[in-house]
């Protein structure tokens, strides 16, 4: 299988993860013009599973290092399979909530608040699960990101002053719930992997490629429960049916599948990078996706169009603090 052998390359891959995690939401925005997010989400999960198989059969099966995808999958222990599978279930629950928040509050708010909270909590969870890097620099960088999230929340509150306060508050609360759940998924998947030795993993543990595939299985399995429930009792709008899903055309379904492919690419290379960067730093850099999503929301989707000077200053401060925080996280892992 393909293995990363330098910290610089690992950081570079984490930036690709950041772009992928911060950009998949654009496919939901595109689909939302004619397609409910609950229906979109089925295609998204299918896209994740398909790409996890592609990664496993290609990069996960080449070269002489480590275990190839199929043999690795065949030898995984029940404990480690369950850990990665549970990670998929947790992520799916959180991501459905994030999709709901995105439909209510937009990219520029749902991602910075939801994924930003996941970043902050997730760094602590992953660091204490597998310590790597200088903790002072790492946590100081995370602290700056917390300030960035506060500025984003204040900007959103000011932007929506006088609008439907109930819906705005609902979007924020759902984003916070999504972020809390999302902070746990990465560690469960990482716990199934031998982070210290990708070349010759401990028997029963898995490589990143197998871990992501099992995560995708957990997502698909739980989707029959979580998404079916949300379809029947949506956060906003009328209930939707499976009949409505099968009425969609190829173009509509392709947009959702593309969203899953983009997210799974980012997730796969994030776990591949953990061997050199460590789980906490790989996760933190990837979750810089919040800034990427905010950029999409502000400059492409114009979600803050017509904002006052005060709001624009708050957004500028958010971006500055986020960039500085990410820089410190990179420095923290360069030992």
Distance, first Cα to last Cα, the chain: 26
Q: Is residue 241 in a domain?
A: yes
Q: Is residue 2 in a domain?
A: no
Q: Please name which of 72, 7, 86, 12 lies closest in space to residue 278, comparing C-alpha atoms.
A: 7
Q: Look at the block and give the residue holding tokens 């957990």.
A: 218
Q: Is residue 278 in a domain?
A: yes
Please tell me the distance from the alpha carbon of residue 53 to that of residue 70, in angstroms, as a whole number: 10
Q: Is residue 92 in a domain?
A: yes
How much is the pLDDT for 152? Answer: 78
How much is the pLDDT for 23? Answer: 92
Q: Is residue 222 in a domain?
A: yes
Asked whether the beta carbons of 69 and 272 are under 8 A apart, the reply is: no
Reported in sequence order, the residue ranges of the chain that DSSP labels E, i.e. its strands, are none
Q: How many structural domains comprise the chain?
A: 1
How much is the pLDDT for 250? Answer: 94
How much is the pLDDT for 239? Answer: 95
Q: Is residue 314 in a domain?
A: yes
How much is the pLDDT for 165? Answer: 62
How much is the pLDDT for 323? Answer: 86
Structural domain boundaries enclosing 273: 7-333
Q: Is residue 1 in a domain?
A: no
For residue 88, give both structure tokens: 């998929």
How much is the pLDDT for 162? Answer: 57
Q: Is residue 296 in a domain?
A: yes
Cα of 72 vs its chain's centroid, Å = 25
Q: Please name which of 317, 304, 295 lies closest in space to residue 157, comparing C-alpha atoms.
A: 304
pTM of the model: 0.87
Tens-level pLDDT at each residue, the chain (335 residues): 999 989 899 999 999 999 999 899 899 888 887 889 899 999 999 999 999 999 999 999 998 888 999 999 999 999 999 999 999 999 999 999 988 887 787 766 777 778 778 878 888 888 888 787 888 998 998 889 888 878 877 887 787 665 656 676 788 889 889 999 999 999 999 999 998 889 989 999 999 999 999 999 999 999 999 999 999 999 878 999 999 999 999 999 999 999 999 999 999 999 999 989 888 888 888 877 777 877 888 887 887 788 889 999 998 998 899 889 888 988 887 65
List CB contacts of 116: < 8 A, sequence separation 6 or more: 145, 146, 148, 149, 152, 179, 287, 290
How much is the pLDDT for 129? Answer: 82
How much is the pLDDT for 335? Answer: 54
């Amino acid at each position: 299988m393909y293995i990363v052998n330098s910290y610089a390359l690992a950081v570079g891959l984490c930036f690709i993860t950041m772009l992928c995690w911060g950009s998949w939401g654009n496919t939901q925005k595109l689909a939302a013009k004619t397609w409910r997010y609950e229906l979109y989400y089925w295609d998204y999960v299918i896209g994740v599973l398909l790409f996890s198989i592609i990664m496993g059969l290609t990069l996960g099966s080449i070269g002489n290092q480590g275990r190839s995808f199929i043999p690795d999958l065949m030898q995984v222990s029940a404990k480690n399979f369950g850990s990665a599978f549970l990670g998929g279930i947790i992520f799916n629950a959180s991501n459905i909530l994030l999709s709901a928040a995105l439909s209510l509050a937009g990219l520029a708010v749902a991602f910075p608040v939801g994924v930003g909270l996941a970043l902050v909590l997730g760094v602590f969870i992953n660091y204490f699960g597998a310590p790597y890097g200088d903790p002072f620099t790492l946590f100081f960088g995370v602290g700056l990101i917390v300030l960035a999230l506060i500025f984003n929340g204040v900007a959103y509150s000011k932007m929506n002053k006088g609008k439907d306060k109930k819906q705005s508050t609902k979007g924020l609360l759902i984003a916070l719930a999504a972020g809390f759940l999302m902070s746990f998924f990465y560690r469960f998947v990482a716990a199934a992997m031998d982070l210290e030795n990708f070349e010759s993993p401990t028997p029963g543990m898995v490589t990143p490629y197998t871990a992501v595939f099992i995560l995708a299985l957990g997502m698909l399995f739980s989707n029959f429960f979580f998404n079916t429930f949300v379809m029947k009792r949506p956060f906003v709008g009328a209930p939707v049916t499976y009949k409505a899903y099968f009425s969609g055309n190829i173009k509509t379904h392709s947009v959702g599948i593309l969203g899953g492919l983009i997210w799974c690419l980012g997730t796969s290379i994030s776990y591949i990078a953990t061997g050199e960067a460590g789980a906490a730093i790989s996760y933190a850099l990837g979750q810089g996706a919040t800034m990427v999503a905010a950029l999409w929301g502000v400059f492409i989707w114009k979600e803050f169009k017509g904002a006052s000077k005060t709001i624009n200053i708050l957004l500028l401060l958010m971006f500055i603090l986020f960039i500085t925080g990410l820089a410190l996280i990179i420095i923290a892992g360069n030992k």
